[in-house]
Structures are given as C-alpha cells and as structure tokens.
Amino acid sequence: MARDWAGSFDDAAERLHFYNDVLEGLTSRIHELIGARLPEHSIWTGTKAVYSSLIARSPGWEIAETFFNSLTRRVFATAGVDQAIEFVDTDFDAPPANAIISITKTYRGRSLPKLLCSALTDAFDEICWDDLQRTAELATARIEAALAAQNSEPELEILSSVFYRGRGAYLVGRVLREGKLPLPIALCLRHENERGIILDALLHGEVDLALLFSFTRSYFRVAVECPYRLVRYLQQLMPRKRLIDLYNAIGFHRHGKTEFYRDFIAHLRKSTDRFVVAEGARGMVMSVFTLPSYDVVFKLIKDQFDLPKDSTREDVRRRYRLVFEHDRAGRLVEAHEFEHLRIPGDRFDPRLLAELLRDAASIVKMEDGDVIIAHAYVERRLRPLNLFFRENEPDAIAAAGRDYGQSVKDLAASNIFPGDLLTKNFGVTRHGRVVFYDYDELCFLTDCHFRKLPEARTPEEEIAAEPWFSVRENDIFPEEFLQFLSFPEPALAALLQHHREIFRADFWRAIQRQIGAGEIPEVFPYREERRLTSDQALSFRPAKG
Ligand SMILES: Nc1ncnc2c1ncn2[C@@H]1O[C@H](COP(=O)(O)OP(=O)(O)OP(=O)(O)O)[C@@H](O)[C@H]1O
Ligand SMILES: [Mg+2]
C-alpha cells in the first residue's frame, strides 16, 4: 500500500533476471560437484529420472521441467533437443492429484454490486477502499448492459490471485448467469492518492481481456501455486490466446518457450508448407522469414548490414534486450530469443535457404540435412503497416493512421523513441492496433535531442540539399518526419487531425521534462470508455489523443 511505483518497476526488472541468476549459481555449483564428469550423458539421464519423480507431486511441475531443460541446455549447448536429457515432451499427461486446488472463489446469493464488493474486499481489506459502493454499482450497470438484464441470479467467479503490473492491480474472472454465456471480466484497480484504492475500470468480453493480456505488454506479477490451472482458466476467458502467450503474460516466459517449441514441432509434423521470406520491405539488418501456416516470424541478425546502417550485432542484441526489460507499453512486440534451433532443410524455400546461408552464415549452418540456427528472435507475425495501407479500405486506413500516432505517443510516454518511424517498421495486430517491431535504432527518449529546424538566413541556405546547420549524432528534427512518412491520404488526414503535435520539437521536449522530473507515466491497458471514475488526478496521459 506504499504506492512505491519506482520500487514496483525495479521489482519487475529484477524478476526478469531472477531465473538466470539462479541458473548461473546452480551451474557453478554443479561444476564444483561433478567436475570433469559433467559432460557424461549417463549422469544426466539418471538425474532426469530422479528429478522427474521428485517433481511428480509439485503443482508447478511443468515449470520445473522447463527449469531442468534450461540447465541441461546450458551445460550441453544442445543443437536441437535431446529427449534423454531434456523434457522435450512433458513426462506427465495431467496435473498431479494435489494440484486440484481451487484457484477461483465464487460469490452468489446477493445482488451483483454486493458480490463485486465482496470479491474486492476479499482481495484488499475494506478499509483500503475509496468510493467502493458507487463504483461497484457503476460496474454492475456495465455488466448488466453487456449480459442483457435477466431475472436469474448472477454468480461471480474471481481468480484468487491478484495480477499486478506497473501502477495497476487486476482481479480477473467471469460473471455467470443462467441461459447466458459466461462474461469474462477484469476489475482494474488503481491507488493514486491517500484516499485509497479505487475500482478504476471494468473490462468485459474477450477482446477487452485479450488487450489487457497482450503480448505487447510487460508481464504480470502473480503469486500462483499452480500455473497449469491458471493459464487454462485464462484460456477459457480468452479462447484465441495460445497457452504460450498466457504463460508469458503471467511471467513464465521460459516455460512459454517450451510450450512454443512443443507447439511448433507438432505443427511442423502436421503441415507441409515451406518457410519463406516474410512479406514486406526487406530488412537491412535482419533476415526475416516465416511459415505461412504458422503466425510467427523468425528474425536473424545478418552478418553484414546494408548501408547506411553502421551498428554491430552486439548493438542490435542490446536493443532487443532493452525492449525485453523495458515496459512495452502495449506498443512493442515481444521478441523471444532462441538458440540452436534445428529445422528440417527440406521445409525451406531454396531461395530463402540460400539467402540465410549467405547473409547470416555465422549463425546458420546445415547438418545432416537440417538447418541449425544458432540465434534467432521469434515474434508474433503482424501485418506490416505499409502493406496494410495498400490492402485496406479508407476507413481502416484512417483508423490505422490515427493509431500510429497514438502508438508513437505511447512509446514516448514510456521513454522510448523508435528511431525509425517508417511504416515498414510497424505492424497491425488482429485487433487493429499499430505496434512497433524494428528495434535496431530504438533508444531512450531522454537520450535524444529534439530540435526545431533553424530558419534559413539566406536564399542559398533555403535551397541547400544538405543541412547548412550542424547536426549531432542524437539530433532529431520532428518537423522533418512528415517528409519521410509517405502515408496514404486517409491515414495522413487522421494522423494530422489527432496527433499533429508529434511533428513539433516542443511536444517531445515536454515529455522529456516530465520523465526527467521522475513522473512514471502509465499507458493504460484499456480504453477510456471502460473507466468508471473521472478522477483526473489519476490519469497521467501526456499523450492524450
Ligand atoms: N513481427 C513481424 N511481423 C511481420 N513482419 C515482420 C515482423 N518483423 C519484421 N517483419 C518484416 O521483416 C522486415 C524486416 O524486419 P525489421 O524491420 O525488424 O528488420 P531491419 O533489418 O531492422 O529493418 P530496417 O532495414 O528497416 O532497419 C520488415 O520490414 C517486415 O516486412
Ligand atoms: Mg525495418
């Protein structure tokens, strides 16, 4: 209840490192214990068998399997996978018997506002709340409207775990009513002043929840005993989300990778299409390819970058790492790092394969007919904005143009400047949100120097092709953005109508000042219409649009 937001963000960052820190300690301990016998395969197959029996009763057994995999992959740097020393497939088909603990609480027998109040005061003591009755009634009205009022008694089912992220806490569950499909809901809590916690917004329906749990947001912090049950419950609320995304969303991103790998291999077995170059503009820094029947892209850092790019492989990795650790603000795609991927060579389009072996020779090689990729980022496949603009009707184009502006502003509020604002570097999600995926020039906003274009003093200066004033490395001239954007007319009109200020240096400098003053901005993971309160003190929205 201390409202220590800086501490909360620090915890989130520390949590991301925790897994690796523990693994590192463990790896050195194992080196001490086993010494020279470390590479002996039989030690590890035996260890795996014993370990498997030890975790058989744990409600978090699948996370434990992944942990074992992380360790053996570290020790062996396995190319592809090895079932003898890794849990490539899980050893267990069903959760252990003692994992059948209840993960939700059900409220019934009273009016909906009362049920909501009970759920909220079960999570946080009654004395912590501000304006609880009134907001519970407002939330009820929203629920009734979404469910269409009925005479039967409502039931409220709420996950016992509270979801924390940034400055918010969330209770998640559903409203059940006879004869109706269950309505997924999220209760969004904020605590911005000494009056207490408020119920700031009510989210309802699959799409609202999907946006809250998006792969473009940072992970939640959730205390959970049985992740297996939790993600499956969440999947009932959001049937279109894959387990992988849900494990990631609650912070088990390592296990998300295991799930990804299992799913990917299963998909390869039942599909026949070939990997091809991703549609859109070719990368100067990355080789990007995809399997048409599977909605991710694989991104490999090329050995040599096309001009004028002058960064190095390590620079690029550093920027991707920055994104992993930073608040993604709903606008940066999550990129998972994979090492030693093995994929059958005959699944590659020959031109793509030739290109990879040429442009990324240091990390791609052939072995027994398989392609071995030493390092790749795997991201959700989006529709690149340049293609989206070509393929859609004016209304959709205008909406994407407007959301592009909001995307740039949301990134700014989270202290990120994308570096390269061209449409080829943004993609459109299935919910029509415009998000950024090209990280090699991304930097902190506070490291940029936003300048107004100086006025020409002579006719020669006026027509000069090259700048006649001196420009330093991090100088950025927002007035110039417009020349490069090449937006189609409906998108440009919408962008200028709603977000014209992004073309002015003083807009950017104002945000820099706010960030510099220690304000931790928040980009809300829900729409304004979903809010129940109109407490302006709450909404830090430097980027109102
Ligand atoms: N998540 C994604 N979904 C769909 N397509 C993508 C995705 N990421 C990249 N692409 C495609 O691959 C291309 C190159 O990717 P990206 O922009 O990340 O590489 P880059 O080499 O850094 O680009 P640039 O040359 O602009 O610096 C993009 O222009 C786009 O067409
Ligand atoms: Mg690009």
Cα(138)–Cα(533) distance, rounded to whole angstroms? 9
Our answer on whether the CB atom of 286 is closer than 6 Å to any ligand 1 atom is yes
Burial class for 104, CB neighbours closer than 10 Å (0-12, 13-18, 19+): middle
Q: Give the distance from CA 118 to its chain's centroid.
A: 32
Cα(64)–Cα(55) distance, rounded to whole angstroms? 7
Ligand 1, atom 7, lies closest to the CA of 381
Asked if the peptide bond before residue 490 counts as cis, ω within 30 degrees of 0, the response is: no
Question: What would the pLDDT profile of 476-525 be if each residue is shown by its tens digit?
Answer: 999 999 888 989 999 999 999 999 999 999 999 999 999 988 876 778 99
Instruction: Report CA(438)–ligand 2 centroid distance (Å).
Output: 5
Instruction: Report CA(458)–ligand 2 centroid distance (Å).
Output: 37
Cα(23)–Cα(70) distance, rounded to whole angstroms? 8
Our answer on whether the CB atom of 359 is closer than 6 Å to any ligand 1 atom is no
Our answer on whether the CB atom of 284 is closer than 6 Å to any ligand 1 atom is yes
pTM score, two decimals? 0.89
Burial class for 317, CB neighbours closer than 10 Å (0-12, 13-18, 19+): middle
The pLDDT assigned to 36 comes to 83
Mean pLDDT, all residues of the chain: 90
Question: Which of these, 301, 302, 300, lies nearest to 289 by C-alpha position?
Answer: 300
Atom of ligand 1 nearest to the CA of 382: 3
Helices in 360-503 by DSSP H: which ranges? 385-391, 394-413, 459-463, 481-485, 489-499
Atom of ligand 1 nearest to the CA of 380: 1
Instruction: Report CA(395)–ligand 1 centroid distance (Å).
Output: 25
Ligand nearest to the CA of 301: 1
The pLDDT assigned to 78 comes to 59
Instruction: Report CA(369)–ligand 2 centroid distance (Å).
Output: 31
pLDDT surpassing 80 at residue 41: yes
Question: What would the pLDDT profile of 7-19 be if each residue is shown by its tens digit?
Answer: 888 888 888 889 9
Q: Give the distance from CA 225 to its chain's centroid.
A: 23
Our answer on whether the CB atom of 62 is closer than 6 Å to any ligand 1 atom is no
Binning pLDDT at 50, 70 and 90, where does residue 471 land? low
Our answer on whether the CB atom of 442 is closer than 6 Å to any ligand 1 atom is no
Our answer on whether the CB atom of 303 is closer than 6 Å to any ligand 1 atom is no
Our answer on whether the CB atom of 302 is closer than 6 Å to any ligand 1 atom is no
pLDDT surpassing 70 at residue 100: no
Our answer on whether the CB atom of 201 is closer than 6 Å to any ligand 1 atom is no
Our answer on whether the CB atom of 384 is closer than 6 Å to any ligand 1 atom is yes
| H or E, element range at 230 | helix 227-237
Ligand 1, atom 17, lies closest to the CA of 438
Cα(434)–Cα(427) distance, rounded to whole angstroms? 6
Q: How many residues does the chain have?
A: 545
For the record, the structure tokens of 57 come out as: 């009763």
* pLDDT higher at 486 or 160: 160
Give the pairing type, strands 198-204 and 163-165: unpaired
Atom of ligand 1 nearest to the CA of 440: 22
387 touches 279 (CB < 8 A): yes
pLDDT surpassing 70 at residue 340: yes
Instruction: Report CA(46)–ligand 1 centroid distance (Å).
Output: 44
Averaged pLDDT for residues 96-100: 65
Helices in 500-533 by DSSP H: which ranges? 505-516
Question: What would the pLDDT profile of 422-455 be if each residue is shown by its tens digit?
Answer: 999 999 999 999 999 999 999 999 999 999 988 7
Atom of ligand 1 nearest to the CA of 379: 1
Our answer on whether the CB atom of 336 is closer than 6 Å to any ligand 1 atom is no
* Residue 477 CB coordination number (10 Å): 17
Q: What is the DSSP letter of 110?
A: S
Minimum mean pLDDT range among 92-96, 198-202, 233-237, 410-414: 92-96
Ligand nearest to the CA of 439: 1
Instruction: Report CA(371)–ligand 2 centroid distance (Å).
Output: 25
Instruction: Report CA(286)–ligand 2 centroid distance (Å).
Output: 8
Our mutation pick for probing the ligand 1 site, out of 380, 424, 484, counting the most ligand atoms within 8 A of Cβ, is 424
Strand partners, 298: 289, 378
Atom of ligand 1 nearest to the CA of 288: 12
